[in-house]
Amino acid sequence: MKDKKTLNLISLGCAKNLVDSEILLGGLDKTNVSITKDPEKADTIVVNTCGFLDIAREESVDTILQAAEMKRTGSLKELVVMGCLSERYPQELKKEIPEVDRIFGSNDHQQIVSFLTGKEFAKDDPLFFRSLMTPNHYAYIKIAEGCDNGCSFCSIPIMRGLQKSRTISSIMDEAERLALNGTKELLVIAQDSTSYGWDLEKKVYLSDLLKELNTINGIEWIRVHYAHPAHLSQRIIDAIASCDKVCNYLDMPIQHASDDMLKAMRRGLGQDGIKNRISRLRDAVPNIALRTTLIVGHPGETEDDYHQLRDFVEEIRFDRLGIFTYSEEEGTLAADLKDDIPREVKDKRKNEILELQHEISLEKNESFIGKRLRVIIDESQGNVTVGRSEYDSPEIDNIIHIKGTAEVGVFHDIQIIEANEYELIGEIIQ
């Protein structure tokens, strides 16, 4: 038998990448590989890379280079790279960083496990189940891979391919198993969750999936991420409204609000169409929290385009908002256009919208003072207890600081007593 390997897995990028990392760890369970969180104690490092946007690519390359240096100078014997960056630039990585022993794609879990353990491995092996890197009480569930949308700025279809939805039965099997392991909150993710099921031989819809997930014992919250406004149908809105476990929350990146920019970005919907979707959503679910993502500085964005976006943010008053400055992605449609917005202009536009959102967030948070919220506890150490309401997704949204101690993964009713832009402060109602 081979000596027992000690492996450190570094997972970079988005939640979809995190799920891939968890599947890999699950595949390594009960093998001759022990897992460590300390790269210094590992003889094997696996880097799950992100290839989306310059800053993420830089982080991925820097992480690989750090591991390569450990291999040259320390006890590290084996360096494996997987994920989006390796899907996109395998030859470049091989050439530029010769210390890398093997390069795999995002979904090569079987091959990676076989390489690391020296044993053949079937993906349907019952032992092959995710080992969560999140706290046990919440888990991301990936319902599809890839994307068909072809937005001008996005390289995801280049790296991940076209959409491949999972069947409802396979998703349900995974969700039920997670529930049995103690998961209480499912975070539904895909590149475009609202087009889920369109590509299956027997066409199904996100609404069908939500209704099925809503029946699972032990699951108390279901949270939907990455809705495309052009694909937010009335049947999905009705499912969000009618399923009692689906959180009053939707992550729906709109990217822009100027008709000219939306057309240039190939978003399939103009400003009036986005307003219509939001209006229908708020009519059906009056207290829904809306998260969105924006891009400023896309080629051709004029001052008027930008002001339309800013005015839209002021009018709609999103509950949560993230914003990026445009970054050219090789191979995309926008990469053929001149990147004609100076860096300082992009940054100025981004900062102005963030400042506006700070004001909106503060007002919205202050409206919770004196109210009760049902909260799940994410962290409790010493006198520090942190939770979230149904209006907040982990890592990216608001947190609630709670006075006193509470058990992680347990729901409590919390009275809100203070608020700032991104935090609420409350106490447990006895």
Whole-angstrom distance, CA of residue 74 vs CA of residue 13: 27
Whole-angstrom distance, CA of residue 386 vs CA of residue 399: 7
| 5-117 CATH choice from 3.40.50.20, 3.10.129.10, 3.30.300.130, 3.40.50.12160 | 3.40.50.12160
| 68-76 LR contacts (CB < 8 Å, sep 24+) | 68/97, 68/99, 68/100, 70/39, 70/40, 70/45, 71/99, 72/99, 74/40, 75/43, 76/39, 76/42, 76/43, 76/44, 76/45
Whole-angstrom distance, CA of residue 69 vs CA of residue 291: 40
Whole-angstrom distance, CA of residue 47 vs CA of residue 84: 11
Give me the residue spans of the domains in the chain: 5-117, 138-364, 372-428
What three-state secondary structure class fits 132?
coil
Residue 110: CA atoms inside 13 Å, Cβ hemisphere, count? Answer: 6
- pTM of the entire predicted model: 0.89
256's CB contacts (< 8 A; 6+ apart) are 262, 265, 267, 294, 295, 298, 305, 309
Q: What CATH code is assigned to 372-428?
A: 2.40.50.140
Which residue bears the tokens 């369109």? 198
| 93, amino acid identity | L
CB 334 within 8 A of CB 350: no
Q: Give me the pLDDT at residue 248, please.
A: 97
pLDDT along the chain (430 residues), means of 10: 77 86 83 86 90 83 90 88 87 89 85 83 59 91 93 89 94 95 96 96 96 98 97 97 98 98 96 97 96 97 98 98 93 91 96 97 96 96 91 95 92 96 90
Q: What CATH code is assigned to 138-364?
A: 3.80.30.20
396's CB contacts (< 8 A; 6+ apart) are 291, 320, 322
Whole-angstrom distance, CA of residue 3 vs CA of residue 401: 46
The two most distant CA atoms of the chain are separated, in Å, by 68
Beta strands 289-296 and 246-251: pairing type? parallel
The counts of H helices and E strands in the chain are: 13, 18
363 — phi, psi (to 5°)? -60, -45
Q: Give me the pLDDT at residue 123, please.
A: 54
Whole-angstrom distance, CA of residue 322 vs CA of residue 317: 13
DSSP states of 333-387 as a string? SGGGS---S-HHHHHHHHHHHHHHHHHHHHHHHHTTTT-EEEEEEEEEETTEEEE
Fold match between domain 138-364 and domain 372-428: no
Beta strands 372-381 and 44-49: pairing type? unpaired
Q: Give me the pLDDT at residue 124, please.
A: 54
User: How far from the centroid of its chain's Cα atoms is residue 286's Cα?
Assistant: 25
